[in-house]
Amino acid sequence: MRPLRRKRVAVIFGGRSAEHVVSLKSARAIMEAIDGERYAIIPVGISREGTWLAGERIWELLWEQGDLSGASRAALLTDPRQPGLLIEEPPAWRFVELDLIFPVLHGPFGEDGTVQGLFELCGIPYVGSGVLSSAAAMDKAVMKILFQQHDLPVGPYLYFYRRQWRKGAESLAEQICGELGLPCFVKPANLGSSIGISRVDRAGELGPAVEDALRYDDKVIVEKALPGKEIECAVLGDLTPRASRPGEVVPCNRFYDYRAKYLDDRSELIYPAVLDPELEQKVQDLACRAFTAVEASGLARVDFFVHPGNGTVFLNEINTMPGFTSISMYPKLWEVSGIGYRELVGRLLELAERRFVRLSERLTAPPE
């Protein structure tokens, strides 16, 4: 009997966003966990400038920030009849058929719906949320508006654009201090990994914090600092999502910033979090509702502020492509919930295929 061909999975990593290095770390762990008997891995790296590249050593070249001139350029073929990848091999291009894509991309140009739209045009199943969900979850202001429409508890916030700040910084600063009060958090609306985020304790810190956020985005969101534990919950599924046991983040700095997440190992991750059963169930229910509110699929990590004393829970944000190293909170939460890293990666690939079949049947259904 002829053995079945292994399905070809393009693992895409790197990218143009400030979370380039985070993407590389996640992708390495995922490629090592993919079942080699079922899947053949095609590594595809995206340089910081946005060039798509392929080759066995492309991960190492991007990690080492080495000379990429000898790497092969790559491009997805936007033809659903021939789902695959074109790899440059002068004087021609070689075609590689693809069955699945695992986009391990964080931030703009990877997690915001842009690359998901490309996958849709190519007609290739991919891990994670679709165009609408990815875009909505990436924009923290739009995300919170959707949460509010679904009666989910969010803390006080406001947002504005660069042009508004340039024309009326003083009045906006007064509005922030008057409506939200201090301390507050100033963030780029479209970014992750706590890049560009500042905690503001005094009015004089507000201007520099906004200017720092504007380095990364044209839109800024300001959130009132909320009391309580920083609790995270992982979600897995599609139309009927399932939540993991929650975990707690105890940052080593004033808040869980980029340094505390990736450079300083003094932050503490507690999984599962110490919450009474009723409060834990409340967090899990809200996590699934947040997942549904933005129409997410595959995976997401939902972040909360939880006050154990009075049971108050505020939903902070949802991340549709969370960090995925072997020590990241998302896989660790599933590990304590009974799903190991390797099994988790396999389930995500299976969910991607199921979602693709479901949506394909909808698109090809004859008119009534």
Q: Among residues 260, 301, 317, which one has the least CA distance to residue 138? A: 317
Active site residue 303: yes
How many other CB atoms are found less than 10 A from the CB of residue 53? Answer: 21
Instruction: Map tokens 């990994």 to a residue.
Output: 193
CA 90 to chain centre: 35
Active site residue 323: yes
Catalytic residue among 14, 323, 328, 337: 323
End-to-end CA distance of the chain, in Å? 43
Catalytic residue among 23, 193, 194, 328: 193
Catalytic residue among 73, 262, 343, 353: 262
- Report d(CA 158, CA 368) in Å as an integer: 45
Active site residue 223: no
Catalytic residue among 23, 198, 244, 319: 319
Catalytic residue among 15, 19, 110, 111: 19
Q: What is the DSSP letter of 221?
A: E
**List of residues 6+ apart from 38 with CB closer than 8 A:** 6, 7, 346
Active site residue 317: yes
Catalytic residue among 198, 317, 330, 355: 317
Catalytic residue among 301, 316, 337, 341: 301
Q: Which residues of 302-332 are buried (b: 16+ CB within 10 A; e: fewer)?
A: bbbbbeeeeeebbbbbbbbbbbbbeebbbbb
Question: Which backbone phi and psi does 291 adopt, to 5 degrees?
Answer: -60, -45
**List of residues 6+ apart from 236 with CB closer than 8 A:** 242, 244, 298, 299, 334, 339, 344, 347, 348, 351
- Report d(CA 347, CA 115) in Å as an integer: 22
Sheet containing strand 7-14, edge to edge, reads 92-97, 84-89, 72-77, 52-54, 39-46, 7-14, 100-104
Cite the active site residues. 19, 193, 262, 301, 303, 317, 319, 323
